[in-house]
Amino acid sequence: MTTTILDKLIARAETGLSEGAICSDDLKQPTWSLDAEDGQKALPAYGAGASQWDKAPAATPLQRQIPARYRQMERTELDRRIRSAKEALGERLVILGHHYQRDEIIQYADLRGDSFKLSQQAASRPNAEYIVFCGVHFMAESADILSGSTQQVILPNLAAGCSMADMANLDDVLDCWDTLGRIFGTNSADAGKQPVLPVTYMNSAANLKAFCGEQNGIVCTSSNAEAVLKWAFERGERVLFFPDQHLGRNTGVKLGISEAEMVIWDPTKPLGGNTLAQLQRAKIILWRGWCSVHQRFNVAQIEKARKDYPGVRVVVHPECPLEVVQAADEAGSTEYIIQAVEAAPAGTILAIGTEVNLVRRLQAEHPDKKIFCLDPVICPCSTMYRIHPAYLAWVLEGLLEGQVLNQVKVDPKVSHFARIALSRMLAIK
């Protein structure tokens, strides 16, 4: 197997030739070293990268080992096979590539974007029978929910989940909902408003989106979280926001809600780890979830960037902790960050706080600007990293042989209610 660009970066870091170190030696292992062998019931971990120390729930989908011939194939041979399968499948296939995918995958994507944009774009390709989503599990679910009934969505590596999405599961959310129902009842003190309104981030399982759909709640993305929370407060006295506490807190602060009016709900503790008085005071109940990629950024990195590069513009993702967002010049979604870089005049120095694959790509695409990742350590999203060209070649050649491998199919009832929550979001201008 020949090496990939990320492999080369990792190798350079090891020999001290790159400015960055790697966050884990496991990145030197082949991607499939964590795939499940026959009979294996649980994943040992998410894989190498930022979330590898997060606890992977037992229900996390497993990826069985793909045939040895794909694992052993030279990169040039994989490339030839992927291109040939794409050509043979023509309009019947669309490959979606999330911005956090490695370059070795992005080069095959027909469409690039963040999770929601990609799902919408997939829905606008009705001729595509097969939607191959090079991203993570909740994204493939959203594509299945938003695409046509004859379209089939494929995730090349089923173990490409999302550690943040996995931090909130339906059982725990239902327990929390019952407790909040007992505390706040079903009748609001404020006429016409629901005592608690659920809001889920796009980065959540389909059954949680469906839960929001059924409970008069809504979905948000990192681009529209502010507008969605305003919508929610027009209809609810308080909001239960999951799974990302940081996006919820950052958005709450933007809306003028104080930190004292936001509490964390830890599903392992009675009352989520709060007193009754704290819950009664809360405007937003934030689920105890986070993105391990964005949680790596800190204020010291920003201070160093400002010291090393006076005049640097610091742009971070709102999944970063509040103090990081407040120390940065701007915070915005992945699409916002890309547009900020594109619109910046030549010579601008930008320090970016988001996933390293996207930052490296922006660096390569904008040689007239100085762009660097705030985190000096090379630490990709563990689960995005699970998608490697070998899996893509495997699923595409499966399609040529009439086999749909790794299909992600959402239960019709779940899909129905999840679509309601998504439609509410889309109706907000």
Binding pattern for the stretch 188-207 against ligand SF4, x by CB under 6 A and - elsewhere: ---------------x----
Q: Which listed residue (105, 145, 162, 371) binds ligand SF4 by CB under 6 A?
A: 162
Q: How far is CA 194 from CA 39, 188, 216, 233, in A?
A: 47, 6, 9, 9
Single residue of 32, 100, 231, 372 touching ligand SF4 by CB under 6 A: 100
Ramachandran assignment for 26, one of left (phi > 0), alpha (psi -120 to 50 degrees), beta (any other): alpha
Q: How far is the CB of 396 from ligand SF4 (least distance, A)?
A: 23
Alpha-carbon distance 251 to 201, whole Å?
12
Residue 333 touching ligand SF4 (CB under 6 A): no
What residues numbered 109-138 form the site for ligand SF4, per CB under 6 A?
136
Binds ligand SF4 by CB under 6 A, chosen from 316, 371, 381, 418: 381
Contact flag: residue 166 with ligand SF4 (CB under 6 A): no
CA distance 191 to 147: 38
Near ligand SF4 in 44-73, by CB under 6 A: 51
Residues 386-425 that bind ligand SF4 (CB under 6 A): none
Token representation of residue 289: 């979830």
User: At closest approach, how far in Å is the CB of 38 from ligand SF4?
Assistant: 28
- Between 51 and 406, name the residue whose CB sits nearer to ligand SF4: 51
Which of 381, 391, 317 is closest to 52 using CA atoms? 381
Q: Is 355 in the site for ligand SF4 (CB under 6 A)?
A: yes
**Cα dihedral 83, 88, 94, 96 in deg (nearest 10):** -20
Classify 66 as helix, strand or coil: coil
Residue 262: helix, strand or coil by DSSP?
A: strand
Interface with ligand SF4 by CB under 6 A: which range of 77-85, 102-110, 121-129, 158-166?
A: 158-166
Span 79-98, contacts to ligand SF4 by CB under 6 A: none
| Strand stretches in 51-163, DSSP E | 93-98, 111-113, 130-134, 152-154
Rank residues 31 and 274 by Cβ distance to ligand SF4 and give the closer one.
31
- Whichever of 100 and 297 has its CB closer to ligand SF4, that residue is 100
Cβ proximity to ligand SF4: between 57 and 185 the closer is 57
> In the chain, what is the straight-line distance between the N-terminal and C-terminal CA atoms, in Å?
48
Distance separating alpha carbons of residues 45 and 32, to the nearest angstrom: 12
Binding interface with ligand SF4 (CB under 6 A): 51, 100, 136, 162-164, 203, 291-293, 355, 381, 383-384
